[in-house]
Amino acid sequence: MGGRQLSWLGNPEPRADDTDRVRQLRDASSPWAGLRVLVLGIGVSGFAAADALLEADCEVTVLDAATGPGQQEKAKLLDVLGARVLLGPEHLVAPVGETVPGGWGGLDLVVTSPGWRPDTALLRAAGLAGVPVWGDVEVAWRMRPAQGAAPWLTLTGTNGKTTTVEMTAEILRADGRRAIACGNVGTPIVEALRHPHGFEVLAVELSSYQLHWLSTDTEASLRPLASALLNIAPDHLDWHGSADAYAAAKGRVYANTEVACVYEVAAEGVSASEGLLREADVVEGARAIGTTLGTPAPGMLGLVEDVLCDRAFIAERRSNAAELATLADLSVEGAPVPPHTVANALTAAALARAAGVAQVAVRDGLRGFVPAPHRVATVAVQTVEGGEVRWVDDSKATNAHAAAASLASFGSVVWVAGGLAKGARFEDLVAEHGSRLRAAVLIGRDRDLLAEALARHAPEVPVVPVDLAQTGGVLSPETLMDAVVARAAELARPGDTVLLAPACASMDQFDSYGHRGDAFAAAVRRHLAG
């Protein structure tokens, strides 16, 4: 490993190096007071960053285009704490001199929420003006305690991030550590740092957006104890601009890692994560730790029959392997364990073992882990003449890679898919899994992309789009999913699984993937109740 600092491939805007004032900010004892900061976004991460900056006596201005009740409530709180908050789209297009006293010259730092695209006018202007731009992760890292800061175990990937980071935290807790899963998983990192009882280890999920906005100052920026990249498949191309830019952002998770960099071992050749790891500049002495669904070589974690094994964190790794857990420890109610769940568990085990947890803690943590909702969750098993039909909610499968893993878990599927494609295509997905499809029920704005892929690669599969004509002219989430379930029930046969694995984002018709999954589950229950 090593060789160079990861580059900022794909950034469409000029990027300012950290100024002398900003470069001094290394931890909570640094001279934060009086720092003039513009925070873009008043969502979960933006609000948490602004709150922490105000506590550090910074001068904070917050901008957000949204003006809903949630934004108004947060604005009132920040106003009481001393921030200047401006809501409404007009503030995003006004000259910054009308928004911030002194204009760009009156700012030391811009902190952007993860969802703000790099080509946003304000972010481009900040780069041109030489004002450093950080994300919420950079703020959190630089606000760590000067002494006794909890180490970070960082994780990214196209799919499986949340499951794996929560598995990691569960294993750490089974070892007696005060640990939390935070970051993109829901709890902002700055909130975890400010918890009154503190944490001994942070298991940190990082999105490609968050990784994109890390500082290029390698001396002061993120330095994880261990890091992992689960997998990479095309996603968020509309935000990053290209697959190469997206991969480069993901690869930044390895930069400056101190102990262990965890990567996916390819069945043949070099995996995407291993390729990015080879390019990463890590701390001298950091080890590359592979995970495989096959028999592990020395320096890897893998699977031998039904046993998860460690040949990386034991002294006798050249001749022996340590048993960590079994597939039975991962099974939910005795159901078969999908390959992606095993891969997630191996990565979580590797991160936790890098932090020094005992072997038995891996087993106990995985046994105690409860999967998040909307991830290959059985909603109901319907008894029909000749057998059963299983109804499964995997609404969290918001891209083709996640949907592929979900489809691979079942033999014969009535597939419910569609939504916002985010710039992705579905040719490879359908070509690989079309043979297991009984039928497809398609929803959402970009359903035609799925229909086209099905027509090319699985023309024998019946395709049923659900639109206004099939919902009685009313397209609420409830009427939509009632129509989806009714069509799926007509198509399903004994032994089939009706699988909601949309391969798309949800925001065209639902508030979130959770809202979509809940609507599907409720419609299934209504249908089965008659």
Binding site members for ATP:
157-163
- Give the DSSP letter of residue 254: G
User: What is the CA 393 to chain-centroid distance, rounded?
Assistant: 18
User: What is the CA 300 to chain-centroid distance, rounded?
Assistant: 24
392, 499 Cβ separation under 8 angstroms: yes
Beta-sheet pairing, 152-156 with 179-183 = unpaired
Q: ∠ CA(496), CA(331), CA(358), 5° rounding? A: 155
Phi, psi dihedral angles at 296 (to 5 degrees): -75, 140
21, 32 Cβ separation under 8 angstroms: no
Binding residues: 157-163
**C-alpha to C-alpha distance for 426 and 512, rounded to whole angstroms:** 21
Beta-sheet pairing, 300-304 with 307-310 = antiparallel
Q: Which of 175, 168, 171, 259 is nearest to 206 (CA)?
A: 168
**C-alpha to C-alpha distance for 122 and 92, rounded to whole angstroms:** 7
Q: Residues 453, 343, 299, 297: is their CA dihedral positive or negative?
A: negative
> Hunting for tokens 């599969």 — which residue is that?
461
**C-alpha to C-alpha distance for 373 and 376, rounded to whole angstroms:** 8
**C-alpha to C-alpha distance for 337 and 377, rounded to whole angstroms:** 12
408, 437 Cβ separation under 8 angstroms: no
Q: What separation, in Å, do the N-terminal and C-terminal C-alpha atoms of the chain show?
A: 60
Q: Which of 253, 240, 247, 19 is nearest to 116 (CA)?
A: 240
Residues 6+ apart with CB under 8 A from 462: 438, 439, 440, 491
Radius of gyration of the chain (CA): 24
Q: Which of 273, 277, 315 is nearest to 292 (CA)?
A: 273
Helix (H, G, I), strand (E, B) or coil at 448: helix
**C-alpha to C-alpha distance for 518 and 501, rounded to whole angstroms:** 13
> Hunting for tokens 């964190």 — which residue is that?
313
Q: At what angle do helices 339-354 and 161-174 cross, to 10 degrees?
A: 50
- How far is the CA of 182 from the CAs of 41, 171, 453, in angstroms? 19, 15, 37
